[in-house]
Structure formats: C-alpha cells, structure tokens
Amino acid sequence: MVIYRTINGEFDDVIGFRHMGGNVWLTNSSEIDSIEGAVRSIYSTVDPTPPEALADFRQKGKIVYEYIDHIDEAVSGATRLKMLADARDHAFGSGVDFIVASARMLENEALAKRPRDEVFYVPNGVDCAHYRKDWSQVPLPQEYQEFLARHDKIVGYFGALAPWLWYDLIKDIAEARPDYGFVFIGPDYFGGSENLPKADNFIWLGPVDYRILPAYAKEFDVAIIPFAHSDVARTTSPLKLFEYFAMEVPVVVTSSMDECCAYDVVLSAENAQEYVQAIDKAFALREDASYRSSMAALADRNDWVVRAQSMEPMFKRL
C-alpha cells in the first residue's frame, strides 16, 4: 500500500482518506506518522520535515530522502529555507537510509557526504500513455482557438510562472518573432504573470488541469523551457522535458539547464538572440521524421515505469 500525505494546499481538498486507484491512497491525516515499519519518502522542497521528526520516523521504519530540487528561495520561499536546509543536512549526515537525487549536481552533493550505494540518480519522468492519447474531442477555450487561428506557428510552455523563469528573454523572443504565437500555460507563482509580455502574439491561459493538459499542449509546434541562468536551472530535471518528448515536440532550453542539455535532441541557447535562432531551427526539425522518432524513443526510455525499475535495487534493501 502507498499512502501520500497532502496539506491540501490548492486542489486536493481531502478530509480523511481518498482511494486514488490500485493500492494508492491520499490523506491529510497526521495519524499516518505513527505507522510502524513503513518506508517514508521525504521530499526536499515540499513541507519541511524537521530533523527531530526524521529521527522519529527512522526509529519507526526506513526513510528515503528525495532530493528533487536545489534548495533555493526561488523554489521554496524565504521562510522555509533554513528548515529545508536542516532536513537536507540531517539526511546527508546518515539521518536517512537512502538519498534519491533528480539531477547530477544534486547527486554529486549527496555523494560528497554519503557512500555510492546509498545514493541513486533518478531524474523525473513521464506518463507516455497520457500524452499519446487522442485528445481531439476535448474542447479548447474560445480565446485559445481564436489565438491559434491567428498564428500558423506556435511556441509553447507549460509549467509554473515562477521566479526562475527568464522573463526578459521571454519578452525579447516574442518581440523578435511577431509572426509566431507564444502560448504559456500554468499557475502564477509570486506574481510571475505580471512579467509576461503584453503583446498580440502572446497568450497566458492560466493553469490547466493535468488530466486534459495534453489537449492544449498538442497545439505546440515548438516547446521552450526558458529558465534564467542559475543553480535552479543547473539542478532541475523538468517533468515537462519528457512530456514534450512524448508529444514529439522539439524543445529549446537555456544553456545552463544541464539535465536537459544531456539529451542531444534538445536545442539550447545562451541568450535571447541564440534562443530565437534555436526556435527557428526547431520548427524545421519538427518536420524531420527521424528527429521525432528519436524524441519518442527518449520518452519511452524515461517513462515512469522505467524510473521505478531503476530503483528496484534500492527497493530490495528497504
């Protein structure tokens, strides 16, 4: 049985326990903290788990610390930074059984403190089947349909409108290619939407439910992940990269996004001028059947099922 704990931050609205399918349950109940003999997965950038709580959980069972993002104010907010760093340092100091790192830079941080056989590199992944369904029957909002009708070429992004995006670059590339339509989808973090271009060739659709997100994203001709150069960029393994692969949409990223640039099908750019050139190239690559086949194959190799299989050696030791 797998039980996920939620703090009902935005969407879950769970009181008690909710069956999610199979052996998976969702709860807001603190009673699960008392379960003996459980394997607990602690995320590095979610609700902070104090070292004393980690020590208590360790007495009751096993702990896997999932180091999934660089601990940074842009990701987690200023008020939680010290608590998150304290939990990370406790994990690095043998306070947990295993560490799972989602990026090579994070893995190297962990390896500086823990033995090789206690640290696993497991990037994010994708539910390929979800993105490859026929989404043609899902109606799109009228404003989106009208925008698509005005633009033959669509450059898209889905994800958080967060402090780690490179907003000046986004404005520059939209201005440089007024004939391209730029579509952004995602929730506003810390007022990010105020920094988006106010232009006829740009539209922000707000957040879209994951269950129908592919219906919107299938309209993308080219996808972008425009993170500003930073440690966040260097240590992020974006879910959306593999989701774009599953839809066979060429991807352009900033050159400091190491986890993305590890794949040779990804186009990268150092600055706005290079980014525009990379987008132009991506439109041509979209028509290349071999290139699209390579993206599809990469998506398959990064499916969540494959990710779970890569963790089997750890599971056997828990």
State pLDDT tens for residues 21-51.
Answer: 999 999 999 999 999 999 999 999 877 899 9
Looking at the fold, whether 223 and 90 belong to one and the same domain comes out as no
Per-residue pLDDT at 299? 99
Per-residue pLDDT tens over the stretch 218-238: 999 999 999 999 999 999 999
Looking at the fold, whether 176 and 264 belong to one and the same domain comes out as yes
Segment 148-155 shows an average pLDDT of 98
Residue 204: pLDDT band (50, 70, 90) is very high
What percent of the chain is predicted at pLDDT more than 90? 91
Per-residue pLDDT at 8? 80
Dump the DSSP string for 109-161. HHHTTS-GGGEEE----B-HHHHTS--TTSPPPHHHHHHHHH-SEEEEEES-B
- For residue 141, what is the domain's CATH number? 3.40.50.2000
Looking at the fold, whether 137 and 112 belong to one and the same domain comes out as no
Residue 73: pLDDT band (50, 70, 90) is confident
Predicted TM-score (pTM) of the model is 0.93
Looking at the fold, whether 85 and 191 belong to one and the same domain comes out as no
Per-residue pLDDT at 46? 75
Which domain range does residue 248 map to?
Answer: 128-301
Q: Which two tokens stand for residue 157?
A: 């992004």
Higher pLDDT, 72 or 259: 259
Looking at the fold, whether 275 and 132 belong to one and the same domain comes out as yes
The beta strand positions in the chain, using DSSP E, are: 2-5, 17-21, 24-27, 39-43, 62-67, 98-101, 119-121, 153-158, 180-185, 202-204, 222-225, 251-254, 267-269
Looking at the fold, whether 99 and 41 belong to one and the same domain comes out as yes
Looking at the fold, whether 224 and 119 belong to one and the same domain comes out as no
Looking at the fold, whether 109 and 44 belong to one and the same domain comes out as yes
Residue 10: pLDDT band (50, 70, 90) is low
Looking at the fold, whether 141 and 58 belong to one and the same domain comes out as no
Q: With left for phi above 0 and alpha for psi between -120 and 50, is residue 191 left, alpha or beta? A: left
Looking at the fold, whether 102 and 144 belong to one and the same domain comes out as no
Per-residue pLDDT at 135? 98
Total structural domains within the chain: 2
Segment 286-298 shows an average pLDDT of 98
Segment 101-120 shows an average pLDDT of 97
Segment 151-166 shows an average pLDDT of 97
Per-residue pLDDT at 78? 74
